[in-house]
């Protein structure tokens, strides 16, 4: 699966902890993955492997379950690395790979250069998975390997090919949905209509999965049914996020960061004490955060919440500089940058606000709320005068 960092901010897909870098790509894990990892290891060790190959000791089942879960985890990672490496070849910037509840997701910034580019990035992951599936099946078929190894390899081959089939369903944001969109886009030359058509296919598939899942719960297998319905529900949300993203992109098309920024915000001086800063605000409208600027150079952002966290008794002793977030901790944008790109930079930061530079000097301040207000205004139909 791949994902653009855009207007949507999916907290549940963000990494909870980071594992490090592979081939220059940041690898993270969301807490929800720990649940899946535990469930898989448990069901393999307690149910799948004992049913497949009875008579081995519990130690053997445990070892097989742990090894199989780790290799499964590695397979998902390699699939996402396939997308990420191809995306980088196509000149896109990679934000990282996160493993979460429903598998892996590779996040990158920017627009696809062309339909061909999206197609190659979408197909790179499944190509890796086909190779992995074939490799594990071949291992399981080699005659002289110990039973434990052969059974583990057989399961890994099966799960990789099963996921491949699921992943190739033509539903966004699955790889099959991306392939479908790229093909429609190549045929019509229209990214927007291709996205809308693939989103319709996604809705149809998602509703079938939810309905099928609920029927399964009622008739036979509750666990599989709930799982299927949940995945359908997730796909439904993801597909509508794609079309919402499209609307945002269309509304912001052609705009630059400077068109949406506030160019004369109230700023804070780094050497002021918090008391002086707060006294200076008296009577003025309050904002959530203030840029910290000294002689045209930006030093950071002072969130009001950080000031209010401190007891007012300390305000005389603490300077703005000691309380602010430095420029390393907040997005810094160029005023000539595309508004769509700026929005995804802001969405990636925790504060949802950023500083804007013009030729290295402070030029303004921008927040997601400002952009949302702009979108609201532009979405409202103009009233006849």
- Looking at the DSSP assignment, which residues form a beta bridge with residue 338? 256
249 is written with which tokens?
Answer: 């992109």
Are residues 197 and 191 in contact, defined by beta-carbon separation less than 8 angstroms? no
In terms of CB distance, is 60 or 156 closer to Zn ion? 156
Tell me which residue has tokens 């191809």.
86
241 is written with which tokens?
Answer: 């996020």
In terms of CB distance, is 95 or 175 closer to Zn ion? 175
62 is written with which tokens?
Answer: 């445990």
Of the candidates 153, 166, 311, 142, the one whose C-alpha atom is nearest the C-alpha of residue 227 is 166
Stretch of 148-156, 170-178, 239-247, 277-285 contacting Zn ion, by CB under 5 A: 170-178
Q: What H or E segment, with its residue span, contains residue 364? A: strand 361-367
Contact string 183-222 vs Zn ion (x = CB under 5 A): ----------------------------------------
In terms of CB distance, is 125 or 270 closer to Zn ion? 125
Applying CB under 5 A, what is the total number of residues that bind Zn ion?
Answer: 3
Least distance (Å) between residue 83 CB and Zn ion:
5
235-274: which residues touch Zn ion (CB under 5 A)? Answer: none
Start-to-end CA distance of the chain, whole Å, equals: 48
One residue of 5, 8, 118, 175 binding Zn ion per CB under 5 A? 175
In terms of CB distance, is 13 or 293 closer to Zn ion? 13
d(CA 70, CA 76) in angstroms, rounded, equals 10
DSSP state of 328: G
Residues near 113 by beta carbon (within 8 Å), at least 6 away in sequence:
90, 91, 92
Work out the number of other CB atoms within 10 angstroms of the CB of residue 50.
Answer: 16
In terms of CB distance, is 109 or 310 closer to Zn ion? 109
Task: Count the helix, strand and coil residues of the chain and give each as a percent rounded to the nearest 5.
Answer: 60, 15, 25
Tell me which residue has tokens 């049913």.
51
d(CA 170, CA 180) in angstroms, rounded, equals 6
Are residues 22 and 88 in contact, defined by beta-carbon separation less than 8 angstroms? no
d(CA 346, CA 352) in angstroms, rounded, equals 5
DSSP reduced 3-state for 380: coil
Residues near 161 by beta carbon (within 8 Å), at least 6 away in sequence:
129, 130, 133, 137
Least distance (Å) between residue 76 CB and Zn ion:
9
Catalytic site includes residue 80? yes
90-129: which residues touch Zn ion (CB under 5 A)? Answer: 125
Stretch of 90-98, 175-183, 187-195, 250-258 contacting Zn ion, by CB under 5 A: 175-183
The catalytic position among 8, 53, 80, 309 is 80
Tell me which residue has tokens 């790509």.
25
In terms of CB distance, is 115 or 122 closer to Zn ion? 122
- Tell me which residue has its CB nearest to Zn ion: 125
One residue of 1, 44, 119, 179 binding Zn ion per CB under 5 A? 1
DSSP 242-276: HHHHHHHHHHHTT-BHHHHSBSS---B-TTSBHHH
In terms of CB distance, is 125 or 364 closer to Zn ion? 125
Least distance (Å) between residue 19 CB and Zn ion:
19
In terms of CB distance, is 106 or 346 closer to Zn ion? 106
Residues of this chain that interact with Zn ion (CB under 5 A) are 1, 125, 175
Residues designated as active site: 80
């Amino acid at each position: 699966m791949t994902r653009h960092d855009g207007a949507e901010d999916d907290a549940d897909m963000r990494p909870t902890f980071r594992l490090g870098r592979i081939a220059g790509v940041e690898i993270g894990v969301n807490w929800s993955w720990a649940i899946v990892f535990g469930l898989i290891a448990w069901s393999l060790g307690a149910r799948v492997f004992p049913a497949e190959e009875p008579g081995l000791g519990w130690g053997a089942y445990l070892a097989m379950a742990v090894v199989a879960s780790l290799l499964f985890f590695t397979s998902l990672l390699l699939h996402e690395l396939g997308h990420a490496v191809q995306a980088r070849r196509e000149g896109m910037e990679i934000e990282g790979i996160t493993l979460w509840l429903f598998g892996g997701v590779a996040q990158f910034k920017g627009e696809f250069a062309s339909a061909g580019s999206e197609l190659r990035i979408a197909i790179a992951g499944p190509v890796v998975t086909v190779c992995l599936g074939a490799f594990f099946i071949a291992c399981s078929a080699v005659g002289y390997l110990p039973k434990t190894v052969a059974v583990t390899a057989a399961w890994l081959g099966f799960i990789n090919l099963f996921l491949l089939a699921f992943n190739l369903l033509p539903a966004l944001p699955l790889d099959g949905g991306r392939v479908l969109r790229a093909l429609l886009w190549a045929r019509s030359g229209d990214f927007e209509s291709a996205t809308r058509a693939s989103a319709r296919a996604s809705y149809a598939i998602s509703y079938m999965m939810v309905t099928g899942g609920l029927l399964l719960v009622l008739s036979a297998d509750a666990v599989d049914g709930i799982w299927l319905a949940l995945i359908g529900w997730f796909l439904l949300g993801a597909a509508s996020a794609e079309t919402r993203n499209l609307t945002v992109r269309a509304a912001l098309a052609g705009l630059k960061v400077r068109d949406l920024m506030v160019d004369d915000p109230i700023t804070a001086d780094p050497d002021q004490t918090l008391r002086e800063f707060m006294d200076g605000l008296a009577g003025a409208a309050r904002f959530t955060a203030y840029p910290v600027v000294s002689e045209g150079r930006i030093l950071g952002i002072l969130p009001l919440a950080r000031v209010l966290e401190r007891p007012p008794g300390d305000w005389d002793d603490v300077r703005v500089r000691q309380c602010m977030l430095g420029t390393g901790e907040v997005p810094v944008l160029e005023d000539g940058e595309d508004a769509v790109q700026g929005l995804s930079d802001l969405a990636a930061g925790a504060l949802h606000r950023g500083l804007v530079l013009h030729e290295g000097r402070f030029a303004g301040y921008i927040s997601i709320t400002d952009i949302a207000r702009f979108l609201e205004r532009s979405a409202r139909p103009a009233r006849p005068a």
